[in-house]
Structure formats: C-alpha cells, structure tokens
Structure 1
Amino acid sequence: MKQKIAFTMVLLAGFISTQAQDYNIKGKLEGQGNERIILRGLNGEITVEAKNNSFELTGIAGEEPFVTTINTSLDRNLYLGGGKTGMYQPSLPLEIVLSKGANLVITGNAIDINMASVTGDALNESFTQFRKSELHLVKEMDALRRQLVETRIMGVKEGMNEIGKKMLENRQAMAASRKKFIKTHPDAFASIYFLSLTAKEYKTAELEDTYNGLSETYKNTRYAKGILAKIEALKVADAGGPAPDFTKPDVNGRLVSLSQFRGKYVLLDFWGSWCGPCRAANPHLKELYSAYATKGFEILGVASEKVSGQAQAEKVWKEAIEKDGLTWTNVLNNELSMKQDVVQLYNIEGYPTQILLDKEGKVIGRWLGAAGKQLDDKLKAIFNK
C-alpha cells in the first residue's frame, strides 16, 4: 500500500512539474556575461541571471500561442545627447512565441538580441526566418539612427534632413519587405502575427485578400481573429455604418459594451496612465462631460497600459482614474485573455485618439491627439441648437 501511495505521489509530482513548466527556454548570447535576462510572461516579468552568457527560463504558457518579448539588462539604448542621464531611444527586444510544451533555444549576440535566432518549434522558427528577411533593413535603420544622433549633436541641420529622407525610404522598404514575406509565406505563424500588426497599412480589399491567402493553420488564434474583426470594421466604415462593437471590463470588473450607449453621442477616448498628453486633456474632458452629460453625451475611456501583466495594468489604470477624478465609464484593453484588441480594431496609431460617435454609433469625428476646439465646436453644434 505504501509503495502504491509513493508511486502515485511520484506520478503526481511529475504531472505538477510538467504543468508548471509548459515551456522551456535555453539560451546563449555572446556578450551577455552574468547580466539579467527578462521575459515578459503571461503573469508578469520573469527574470534570471545568466552565467557565462548562458541562461534558462521555464514557465506556464497559455492555451494558444502568445507573442511576447525577451530582453537583456545590458545597456543597449541609443542616447540622444547629454550622456546616459539624457534622453534616449530604447533598443528593441527579441520577439518570441510561448506555447505549451515548447523547448526553445536562443543563440546570437546580447547587443543585438532583437535579431537573435530562436529554434525549437515552427512558431519561433518562422519568426527567425522573418527576422532574416529584413536583417539588412534593420541594420541600415540602426546605422541611420546613430548617424542622426551624431549629426544632431554637431548641429548640422542639412545633414539631419538628408538622413531623415533615408530613414523614410528605409521604413517604406521595410513595409514592402513585410508585405512580401506575408504573401510568400502563407503557412507561417509569423505571417498571421505581422499581418495583425500592420493591418492599418492595407486597404480593406487588400487586407481581406491577403488574409484569405494565408493557410488555415493559425486562424483560430487571437491574432487572426483580430484581423477578421479589423476587416469587418473597415467594411462597416467603408459603407458608412456604425462603429464596431466591443466588450471590455470596467473598473469594477463588470463587462461594458459600446452598443449599450446607443442613443447617445459617445466620445471614445483612447488613453493610458503613462500618456502625458492624455492626462493633460482630462481636465477639459471633465468640463465637457459636466456640460453635456445630462443632454445625451457620454465618454467611454479605453485604456491601454504599457506594463507587464494584467494586475499591474489594473493598478496603474485605476490609480490614474482616481487621481484625475474621471467619473465616466472606463474600460481596460489589457485583460489577460483578450478576445478583442480594441486598439487594433479601431486602428489607433497614437495617444490620445478621440473618436466621436452619433446616436446610431456612426463616426462623425476622429482626432489623433486631444480634439480641443474641434470637439468643442462639434458638441456646441449638436447640443446648443
């Protein structure tokens, strides 16, 4: 009997161990030394110290592939003048796909970790293949950025303009390269993912054709569903129909849908606690809400927080709402099991973005940045007839 119990406990321990280590990552990066490696996992950051350039990470994966980032604590920032106490441009991390049972190997150089090779499954190998396809453009852009900083420090305005033109050409070449990769690699998970990121660069018919040209393998993922939602939203917008509906949790965890505000004029305010211009616009929004709320005007704030993990996102979001005294409905776009990415759905390219909807839910105004006087004039024309 004791032997049976002991054997059962061994099996249970093995099961728990397997469940607790849904993925395993081993890496060796030249120049990493004993510095820290930081992975943004499903439940926040996971940090380990490397030993002689090598490291290992384990953790729990979700039910479907999850794209996240891994970075080094080595200082890779591009400083814009004033030394390391001045402004800087952070270097890019390495994008990696976490999935159940993944056994991954990362190799490369710590300074260029964003271009490291990740092998071990088809998901990550497609990302490695994608990185190789644009490696020359990434290196070119990195060189241009450094030239721009040097020219700026020297104060050569003509040189800055010339470098700026080359940077624009590089971005255009990179956009074309990504479109080519997506079209020529229909079976790659990277194609679904990067199409979801670059959907705003496509017109409606082109986006639909590109999506339809991809294989069905990964079309059950959140990234594919986001593309479909975007296509439907664009079709509605093209036809002059209502803005796409969405459902998100409010500060009390209750689910709120845009459609429940039908019959009112609604201002969708895309913001975040980290966004200075967003926070600066809140006092005026409070004035507008006070003036027009009783006349049929509503504000629906949609926050996206730049932190790791839902718990931290909720914390900073709620603190900002309380500090700024926001009394209208606010929802969070950072929930862990995100079914709709509203930022992607509405093609948000910067913060704040404010979108005004009429009583039928149709878009009658959209502004990148605080709308200010334009919104004031719209509301005066609507409510002070």
Structure 2
Amino acid sequence: MKKKLYTTLLTSLMMASAVSAQAADDLLHVKGKLANFGDSAVVAYGTFGGETKQTNVVLKDGTFDFTLPMKEVSYVQMATPATMRDQDRTRVLVVGVPGETLELTGDMKTRYDTGGSKFYQQYHEVNLMLENSSKEMQEYSMGIQKRLDAGENRKQVMKEYREKAAEIEEKAQQRMLDFVKQHPDYEASAVVISFLEDVKKMEQAATLLTPEVQNGRMKSYYSFFIDRAKQRAEAEEKASKAQATGVQAPDFTLNDLAGKPLALSSLRGKYVVLDFWGSWCIWCIRGIPKMKEYYNKYRGQFEILGIDCRDSDEKWRAAVKKHDLPWLHVYNPENSKVLSDYAIQGFPTKIIVGPDGKIVKTIVGEDPVFYTILDELFGKK
C-alpha cells in the first residue's frame, strides 16, 4: 500500500514537473534594474509581422521582474508611458526568445546591456559587435554635419559623403558577416541577419549558420527579415522605374484644404515638388524649417504640393495649421492609388516635377541633397 502510494506520488510529481517545464518553455522571463527609467513601463510584444500584445509593469527603484507568455521568437519593447504618447524616447527594444531569461542592466541616460541565460549572453556579444561596427559611420556622419554647419560647400561635402559612406557601410556589413562565420553555432547570430542590407548578404549569413540554428527556433525570425528584404527589393525596383528622371509624373486629383479638387496637371508649366509626408513622420516634421527657408528663398520659381499620407483628415489639417505650412496641400485617402502609382517606399519622399510634367529627381528621406538640387535649379536665375 505504501509502495503504491509512493509510486502514485512520484508519478504526480513527475507530471507536475513536466507541466512546469512545458509552461516555462512558453514564457520569457525578464528581470533587471535600469536607472533613470521611471516607476512604470508599458511592455509591447509580439511575433514579427504579427499581432502586438501589451501589458503594464511596475518598477521599484528601477528594478523589475516579470514574465511574458511567448511561444515564438518575438520582439519586446519596454517603454515609459510618456514614450508611448510620443513625449519621450525612453525605451528598450530586444528580441524575445521563449524559455529564456533576459536580464537588463544599466542607465537609460547612458547605456544598458543585456545578459541572462545562454541565448542572452550570446545576444550581448552580438549587440557589442553591432555597436562597434556602427561607430565609424556615426563618427564620420557627425564630422560631416560639423563641416556643413561650419559653412563648407554643401555640394562638395555631400558628394564626398556619398562616396565615403558607402565604403564605411560595406566594411560594417563585412564585420557582421565575419561574426556569423566565427559563431555559426550561436542562436543569437541569426539576429545579425536583420541588420544586413541586402538579400544576398542575408541569405549568405543564413547559410553560414549550423543546421541546428538554421532549422531551429530562430528560423521564423530570420526568415521574416529575408522575406521582407525580398519584397523591399522588388518594391525598390518598381520605384526606380516609377520615380526615374524623365518619367512622366502620373497625374492625380485630390482634395485641398478647402475641400476642392486639385489636379497635378493644373500646375503644369512650373516646377513642382511633390512632398509625401505625414504628421506622424518625425523626419518630415524635422525638415519643415529648412523647407520653409527654401520655399521663401526661391518663392515664385517653384511650388510645393504637400501630399498627406496615413493621417486622418483632422490630424492632417491640424498639422498644417500647427506648423504653419504656406504651400499647397492635398489629402490622400486610404483608397487612393497615388502612393502605389509613385511607388513610395519611405517618408518623407520629395519628387521634383519639371514644367513639362516629367520627373526631374526623387529624394527619399530628409536628405540635404534636395536643397543642393534646388540651388542648382534656381540659384542661377
């Protein structure tokens, strides 16, 4: 009787242990201490390309300890409530792996580091490598900005930057590939793939991984980024054709601030800058002062047509009023084909259209080259 009772008890304990182990495999344990973070955090997490979930966490003197239900490799963002309201930028963004323990330590005003279980020890090595790989570019970019601020010739400086930056970036990419070569058995090496710039390099890095890592739990992670890079490459090829110099700019008609239809073709005979922007786009907003400066500098020689993207009508109108934007504006609704017709890939995108209705130049991002082009077009007049 005692033997039977002992056997039953042992079996129950083994079953409970198995259930506990299974449960632990579906959890990410996050703990640590971060100075200057605040007393609470909003934690957002979810699979890459999938649904986002959210929970709130209380910090005591910067210390936290919580678990997240997780069955697949996911992203995890831990941010202050102010950051979630776009009033701050205090956040931690990491790759979450179920069954692991992530330890975060440091000071949000200086730096924080990752540690914990085996995966996150490897992840820390990856982060240090990525940080070192990006240093040369960061330092070079800061030097370029100082030269521009000091009044050096913008055209010459930016020409040098484009040539030198490509060389520096290629070196950084090679360092990343070298890390994967040296650590093919690290699961965290799969994270490097998401930082590589083109599909060929990403696929090369994937083949460098051991079969165990290639086909293990990180497969969904790196496959997502490779698939997305392929889609981006296809979209960029379409954009290069749609936005190429000499291509006839597709005509469109959208409603202006007065609610009246405004057609691009109605501006034929003058230079027009199509400014694809949104109130949510940080770089779009940061570029407004310079845009205003050049709009006034060459007033009457060209027109700007702001094309709002991914805003509600109310937010669009509020942004135009808040930033006191003096040029033409139209609202681009969700069912519009304008973004597709122009193959817009990023924001802001500025497309200069000539008096003949053909594209002169396309500039993606808040790039100083845009203003150099305006100087070349109108500075001699």
TM (norm. structure 1) is 0.46
TM (norm. structure 2) is 0.46
Larger radius of gyration: 2
